[in-house]
């Protein structure tokens, strides 16, 4: 299975995760999710808790008690709210916070 990194090159954490993968000799397929936003179905397919997928600091107006369906709707409509980076690998998906967390799905 190919590795797919949902990446924002302007994010230092996302750049660190990519550098870590490259230092391990891995070359993931890069998906610039802001340019190629994932569908709601793709967000669900990550099989990660919806609450962990949202960048709460970028969405201070959203109530913290939103349900999963509401969070997924917000993320599908506003991909800039998706936490980054996300690596999809042979053992599932992981949010790279800290960047080393992406290694969990290899």
pLDDT digit string (tens) for 46-89? 999 999 999 999 999 999 999 999 999 999 999 999 999 999 99
Residues with catalytic roles? 11
pLDDT attached to residue 33: 98
pLDDT at 1 over 80: no
For the chain, which domains are there? 4-105 (3.40.30.10)
Alpha-carbon separation of residue 8 from 3, 67, 69, 82, 91 (angstroms):
16, 26, 24, 10, 22
Residue 104, helix vs strand vs coil: helix
> Per-residue pLDDT averaged across 91-100, rounded?
97
Query: Over the range 22-54, which residues count as b (16 or more CB within 10 Å of their CB) and which as e?
Result: eeeebebebbebeeebbeeeebeebebebeebb
For the whole model, what pTM was predicted?
0.94
pLDDT, tens digit, for every residue of 13-35?
A: 999 999 999 999 999 999 999 99
> Per-residue pLDDT averaged across 85-106, rounded?
96
For the chain, count helices (H), then strands (E).
4, 4
């Amino acid at each position: 299975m190919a590795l797919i990194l949902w990446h924002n090159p302007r994010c230092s954490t996302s750049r660190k995760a990519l550098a870590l993968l490259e230092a391990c000799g891995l070359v993931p397929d890069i998906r610039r999710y802001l340019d190629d936003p994932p569908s709601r179905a793709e967000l669900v397919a990550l099989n990660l808790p919806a609450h962990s997928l949202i960048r709460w600091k970028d969405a201070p107006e959203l109530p913290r008690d939103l349900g999963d369906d509401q969070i997924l709707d917000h993320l599908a409509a506003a991909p800039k709210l998706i936490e980054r980076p996300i690596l999809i690998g042979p053992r599932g998906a992981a949010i790279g916070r800290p960047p080393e967390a992406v290694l969990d799905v290899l």
